[in-house]
């Protein structure tokens, strides 16, 4: 039966996108920071003053990609915020705002939503007001000061902030899509449990009702027709034994399956979990082999929903074989799948071969019977080793 996937097996798309962002964006951002530092530096002690701002911006970006900015946002903002006025008043560095621009735009997400607009306004005003303070030490060319220290830093801070907020909204959409997919997967699990419960009810509900009637009949016959009562009790015993056997078969996925119904059920489960599925029929499956192939499909479907982070599944059927390939590999090593291990024994006992393989970020499950063996017929359901 299908159970919900544990979060520890799930690597979120949002996390992968953030790491990709780190790998592709951090080098050019670091280069830009170093270039600006080089342009603004005219003596060795300028490096001592300006470098902490660049470092704070890089640390904030790295922690943001790791979704751990809250822990370092305040220290980085303090450091970068101190560098900007020092760059304006002491070193004459119009690009010293860079670190505070980076930290401030990224840290806005950590501010409560109702205060975010105030924080955005504060960020822009701080950059502009501190830049305007250059007029206290340089009054010869007011226009140059306003352009270099006020307009350009403020405009670029606005641009970077807007781009960062758009990027964060993109991550929010990704997270919402993942949550929707998780809910759909949970719904698929519930549907599978309902299906299992329905099968169990079909086996036991009717039997228990019949057993109740037969025992009541045997009680009435016990004194006047002991032979008939004994017959009813024997039939009740046989009926209970058969029900126990069917229940075991259901619990161990050994109940006779309809392959076409299993394919349709697998498609419904995958689609409900947001997984694209494609079924290719190369030939009509032999009836003797279809039951075990259906069990392989059911167990593989369960494993994909429980353990994989798949986006697409390919099911291929031939005359005496089935192949299921998914792209949801979540570990470097092949996981232990007990259900498939049990099925491998049953398939081998019928002369077939069950293959489980993982390579190139794809997980493959394939069961194949030799054509001659497929026509010879599969073994009875109750023979599986437990």
Beta-carbon count within 10 A of 367 CB: 27
* C-alpha–C-alpha distance, residues 301 and 295, integer Å: 10
* C-alpha–C-alpha distance, residues 322 and 312, integer Å: 17
Place of tokens 């005003």: 125
CA atoms within 13 A on the CB side of 174: 14
Instruction: List the one residue out of 346, 345, 348, 304 whose CA is nearest residue 327.
Output: 304
Instruction: Give the pLDDT confidence score for residue 129 in this predicted structure.
Output: 93
CA-to-CA dists, residue 2 to 61, 96, 183, 196, 298, angstroms: 40, 57, 14, 9, 10
Question: Residues 344, 24: contact at Cβ < 8 Å?
Answer: no
Instruction: Give the pLDDT confidence score for residue 255 in this predicted structure.
Output: 55
* DSSP secondary structure of 221-274: HTTT-HHHHHHHHHHHHHHHHHHHHHHHHHHTT-S---HHHHHHHHHHHHHHTT
Instruction: Give the pLDDT confidence score for residue 4 in this predicted structure.
Output: 39
Instruction: Give the pLDDT confidence score for residue 336 in this predicted structure.
Output: 62
Instruction: Give the pLDDT confidence score for residue 256 in this predicted structure.
Output: 59
* C-alpha–C-alpha distance, residues 304 and 281, integer Å: 21
Instruction: Give the pLDDT confidence score for residue 11 in this predicted structure.
Output: 46
Q: 177-210: string of b/e by CB count within 10 Å (b at 16+)?
A: ebeebbebbbebbeebeeeeeeeeeebbeebeee
Instruction: Give the pLDDT confidence score for residue 140 in this predicted structure.
Output: 80
pLDDT tens for the chain, 386 residues: list them. 333 343 433 345 666 777 777 777 778 888 888 888 888 888 888 888 889 999 998 898 888 887 788 889 899 999 999 999 998 898 888 999 888 998 988 888 888 878 888 988 999 999 999 999 998 888 788 888 899 999 999 999 999 888 888 877 877 787 787 778 778 777 877 777 777 776 677 667 667 767 777 788 888 888 888 888 888 888 888 878 877 877 777 766 555 567 887 788 788 777 766 788 999 888 777 777 777 788 788 788 877 877 777 888 999 988 888 899 988 776 666 666 666 777 787 788 788 888 888 877 788 888 888 765 444 444 444 433 33
* C-alpha–C-alpha distance, residues 303 and 9, integer Å: 12
Helix axes 152-221, 98-107, angle to 10 degrees: 30
pTM greater than 0.75: no
């Amino acid at each position: 039966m299908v159970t919900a996937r544990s979060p520890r097996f799930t690597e979120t798309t949002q996390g992968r996108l953030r790491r990709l962002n780190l790998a592709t964006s951090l080098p050019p951002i670091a280069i830009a920071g170093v270039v600006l530092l080089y342009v603004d530096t005219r003596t060795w002690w300028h490096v001592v003053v300006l470098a902490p701002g660049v470092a704070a911006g890089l640390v904030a970006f790295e922690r943001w990609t790791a979704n751990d900015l809250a822990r370092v946002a305040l220290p980085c903002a303090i450091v970068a915020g101190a560098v900007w006025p020092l760059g304006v008043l002491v070193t004459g560095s119009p690009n010293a705002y860079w670190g505070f621009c980076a930290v401030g735009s990224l840290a806005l997400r950590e501010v409560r939503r109702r205060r975010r607009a105030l924080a955005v306004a504060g960020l822009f005003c701080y950059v502009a007001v501190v830049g305007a303070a250059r007029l206290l030490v340089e009054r010869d060319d007011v226009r140059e000061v306003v352009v270099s220290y006020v307009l350009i830093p403020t405009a670029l801070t606005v641009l970077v902030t807007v781009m960062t907020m758009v990027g964060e909204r993109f991550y929010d959409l990704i997270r919402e899509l993942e949550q929707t997919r998780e809910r759909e997967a949970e719904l698929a699990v519930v549907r599978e449990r309902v299906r299992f419960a329905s099968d169990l009810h079909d086996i036991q509900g009717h039997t228990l009702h019949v057993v109740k009637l037969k025992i009541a009949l045997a009680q009435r016959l016990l004194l006047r027709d002991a032979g008939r009562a004994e017959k009813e009790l024997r039939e009740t015993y046989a009926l209970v034994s058969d029900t126990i056997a069917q229940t075991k078969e259901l619990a161990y996925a050994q109940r006779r399956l309809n392959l076409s119904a299993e394919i349709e059920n697998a498609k419904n489960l995958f689609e409900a979990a947001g997984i694209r599925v494609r079924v290719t029929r190369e030939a009509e499956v032999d009836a003797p082999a279809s039951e075990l192939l259906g069990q392989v499909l059911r167990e593989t479907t369960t494993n994909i929903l429980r353990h994989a982070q798949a986006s697409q599944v390919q099911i291929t059927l031939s005359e005496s074989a089935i192949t299921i390939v998914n792209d949801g590999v979540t570990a470097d090593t092949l996981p232990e799948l007990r259900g498939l291990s049990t099925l491998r024994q049953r398939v081998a006992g019928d002369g077939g071969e069950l293959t489980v393989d993982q390579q190139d970020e794809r997980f493959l499950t394939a069961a194949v019977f030799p054509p001659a063996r497929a026509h010879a017929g599969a073994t009875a359901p109750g023979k599986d080793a437990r």
